[in-house]
A and B are shown apart, each in its own frame.
Chain A
Amino acid sequence: MTTNTAGNAAATAAGIGQADRSGGTSVLLQDLSRVFGTTRALDGLSIEMAPGELVALLGPSGCGKTTALRIVAGFESADAGSVMIDGKDISSVPASRRDMGMVFQSYSLFPNMSALDNVAFGLRMRKLGTAQRRQRAGELLDMVGLADQASQYPHQLSGGQQQRVALARALAIEPRVLLLDEPLSALDAKVRLQLREQIRTLQQRLGTTTLFVTHDQEEALSMADRVGVMRQGKLEQIAAPDELYEDPATAFVAEFVGIMNRIPGELQGSGTVSVLGGAVPVRGESPADQAVDVLVRPEGLTMQVGPNGNGIVTTRNFLGSVTRVGVLLDGDVAVQVDKSSSEAAALTPGTSVSVSLPAQPVLVAPRR
């Protein structure tokens, strides 16, 4: 795809406006709140973005991530709180003067203009001369690998191509901040993966501070420097992807990112929970009720084959080097356990196994 123009792209990217790139732009969202009718779309959201960083806002629909993005863009205003760019409060600056590039979810290209004219639009608004802006637009289209499509109209382009043009258009104005509103959601899987890489590569080369909204956790984890998990207007945790996975701060984050098993247990007074015949320490918050579900990742469970175990193998999902084994435990609890594929080969459905938890602190959640 773009691999053979990668060299070109790097050189071009280096040439474009690097003089201004020296510091990058820091973005600070401070205590943003927004209420729609009776719903709190945002509830005191605070995020600090370092220059050149790609932060992903991840969460289910309705969690407020898009609202936050649109407030930063200037299409909506917060009821309380402020947005600071490089230390300056821009809350009262209209959207057309914020100097941010935005990529929308879909169909945001102007249908009456060619790809080139679309990309050049922001430059036209900045009163650049015709020759200059066409040249610049051409370079950007080249950067996203669409130089040949410069004179095509949006309805002649595929979804993936349209989004690439939208990206080029947003970058053409050398924005201080790049905003992406679920840009890949409307595309099919293969195109999505290709574009993911391309966006990330471009963003890193240009060093543009970027805020990326998505509901796809895989997307967020693979692209971002840091991921902020949101829920009902609040930020549950913001951390690097690996930290989010290994060390989720709350049960919600734990279940949203990656796969989690839920095993019923009983809270004991002493900060432990009794589960699967043993007692394990609890970390993080304890719910009020005694009856809880213990959250464990598939790779966090140990399993031994043997008669009189506490479970029976039901399914096997071959995932490559690892096989995800479905086990039905006593009490009708279904769990997934990861085993290396060589070991899992012997685990035919119906095999009796013993599943247990190592003695490490676990997260608990109210029983569902």
Chain B
Amino acid sequence: MAALGRAGGIGPPRIGGSRGSSPWASTGWRWLILVLASVYFLIPLIAALRFAGISSFGSVISQSGFTSSLALSVRLAVITTIITIALMLPTTVYVHLRLPKLRRLLEGITILPIVIPPVVLIVGVLQIAPGFLKSTEYLLALVYVILAMPFAYRAIDAGLRALDLKTITEAASSLGAGWITTLWRVILPNLRTALLSATVLTVALVLGEFTIASLDLYQTFPVWIYVNSQTSGQVSVAASLLALFVTWLFLMAITVIGTRQSRKTGGGSVTLFTVARQETRGD
């Protein structure tokens, strides 16, 4: 059992350098990475701005099809959001409270829309949808609910998990509250941020959804941008920038509001984005 050979001096390991205990991402490295990333992400924005020219922004609104396609997208967004929340909120609350064993299954089901590419989904939907549905635009909304489901679920689930639902429901019940009262006065108010999250994500999704809309042959806003690019590329680019800007505003707003809300109730700052968001947006 050899001693560690530390006679004199402050023991091993002997390495050169003084306070070398800071992580390698010292300030220098960190800023280098972030600067490079910023450059990569900002250049397309700048290029698009230059390409479109300020005047294009004005003419976006006057282009034919702008109003109708935007209106369609907004209509679909509203319907989708209502159906999604009406479907996911009670279900998630119910599973949390009464069927905890099904939570795993529910999570699994909500991963499915991420696994199934929208392009494949629409193939299947168009196959089985009855004629009367296929001929209306509402079919889109109904399919969008499926796309929005994972994000709505995650947002509501996160909100519920922060709540210790069982305890407050039991507390409410012991104080005499019925089922509806509990849902309305106890659970919902605490889910405001989560519901806001779910709404914004759903709206963002619908407003940007391209794949299913185009393959179902409806001219929603993103489809219009694409089609219109044949005639006026600049206006399309301007519209794209607008879309990006509006999305950004939305998401900033919800982060700020959500953070303020959760700080009031003692939580931390809010991040909406968990797991595979993305490819359906604009796809």
Give 4 new A-B contacts, CB below 8 A, not counting A96-B20, A97-B15, A174-B3: A20-B3, A20-B7, A93-B10, A127-B13
Within 8 A of A (CB), among B1-34: 1-4, 6-7, 10-15, 18-21
For residue A125, CB closer than 8 A to chain B, the reply is: yes
Chain A positions 112 through 137: 1 when the CB is less than 8 Å from some CB of chain B, otherwise 0: 00000000000001110000100010
By secondary structure, the A interface counts as loop
- A99-B11 contact given A16-B1, A17-B3, CB 8 Å threshold: yes
Cα of A176 to Cα of B12 in the assembled complex, Å? 12
A97 & B10 in contact (Cβ 8 Å cutoff): yes
B20 & A136 in contact (Cβ 8 Å cutoff): no
For residue A284, CB closer than 8 A to chain B, the reply is: no
Which residues of B are found within 8 Å of A90, using beta-carbon distances? Answer: 10
For residue A270, CB closer than 8 A to chain B, the reply is: no
For residue A319, CB closer than 8 A to chain B, the reply is: no
Within 8 A of B (CB), among A46-101: 74, 85, 88, 90, 92-99
Q: CB-nearest residue of chain B relative to A96?
A: B21
B10 & A99 in contact (Cβ 8 Å cutoff): yes
A313 CB, nearest partner CB in chain B, Å = 37
Which residues of B are found within 8 Å of A17, using beta-carbon distances? Answer: 1, 3-4
Which residues of A are found within 8 Å of B18, using beta-carbon distances? Answer: 92, 94
Q: CB-nearest residue of chain B relative to A99?
A: B11
12 A/B residue pairs, CB under 8 Å, sorted by A: A17-B1, A20-B7, A85-B10, A90-B10, A93-B10, A96-B15, A96-B20, A99-B10, A99-B11, A126-B4, A127-B12, A136-B1
B116 CB, nearest partner CB in chain A, Å = 34
B22 CB, nearest partner CB in chain A, Å = 9
A173 & B10 in contact (Cβ 8 Å cutoff): no
Interface residues on A, range: 20 to 34
For residue A189, CB closer than 8 A to chain B, the reply is: no
Q: CB-nearest residue of chain A relative to B14?
A: A97
A-B CB contacts (within 8 Å), total count? 52
Within 8 A of A (CB), among B147-186: none
Which residues of A are found within 8 Å of B13, using beta-carbon distances? Answer: 96-97, 125-127
For residue A15, CB closer than 8 A to chain B, the reply is: yes
Which residues of B are found within 8 Å of A74, using beta-carbon distances? Answer: 21
A364 CB, nearest partner CB in chain B, Å = 40
Q: CB-nearest residue of chain A relative to B7?
A: A20
Cα of A19 to Cα of B2 in the assembled complex, Å? 10
Which residues of A are found within 8 Å of B10, using beta-carbon distances? Answer: 85, 88, 90, 93, 97-99
Which residues of B are found within 8 Å of A99, using beta-carbon distances? Answer: 6, 10-12
A23 CB, nearest partner CB in chain B, Å = 12
A174 & B21 in contact (Cβ 8 Å cutoff): no
B19 & A94 in contact (Cβ 8 Å cutoff): yes
Which residues of B are found within 8 Å of A98, using beta-carbon distances? Answer: 10
Which residues of B are found within 8 Å of A85, using beta-carbon distances? Answer: 10
B15 & A20 in contact (Cβ 8 Å cutoff): no
Cα of A136 to Cα of B12 in the assembled complex, Å? 17
Q: CB-nearest residue of chain B relative to A74?
A: B21
Cα of A176 to Cα of B8 in the assembled complex, Å? 11
Which residues of A are found within 8 Å of B7, using beta-carbon distances? Answer: 20
Which residues of A are found within 8 Å of B6, using beta-carbon distances? Answer: 20, 99, 174
Cα of A95 to Cα of B11 in the assembled complex, Å? 11
Which residues of A are found within 8 Å of B3, using beta-carbon distances? Answer: 17, 19-20, 174
- A15-B20 contact given A98-B10, A125-B13, A126-B13, CB 8 Å threshold: no
Q: CB-nearest residue of chain B relative to A95?
A: B21
Which residues of B are found within 8 Å of A97, using beta-carbon distances? Answer: 10-11, 13-15
Q: CB-nearest residue of chain B relative to A126?
A: B12
Cα of A92 to Cα of B6 in the assembled complex, Å? 19
Cα of A95 to Cα of B10 in the assembled complex, Å? 11
Q: Which of B6, B7, B14, B15 has the most chain A CB within a 10 Å cutoff?
A: B6
Which residues of A are found within 8 Å of B20, using beta-carbon distances? Answer: 94, 96
B21 & A94 in contact (Cβ 8 Å cutoff): yes
A143 CB, nearest partner CB in chain B, Å = 13
Closest CB pairs A-B (n = 7): A99-B11, A94-B21, A126-B12, A17-B3, A94-B19, A19-B3, A20-B3
B15 & A174 in contact (Cβ 8 Å cutoff): no
- A174-B19 contact given A90-B10, A127-B12, CB 8 Å threshold: no
Cα of A99 to Cα of B11 in the assembled complex, Å? 6
Chain A positions 171 through 197: 1 when the CB is less than 8 Å from some CB of chain B, otherwise 0: 001101000000000000000000000
A129 CB, nearest partner CB in chain B, Å = 10
Q: Which of A16, A17, A20, A94 has the most chain B CB within a 10 Å cutoff?
A: A94
A173 & B21 in contact (Cβ 8 Å cutoff): no
B14 CB, nearest partner CB in chain A, Å = 8
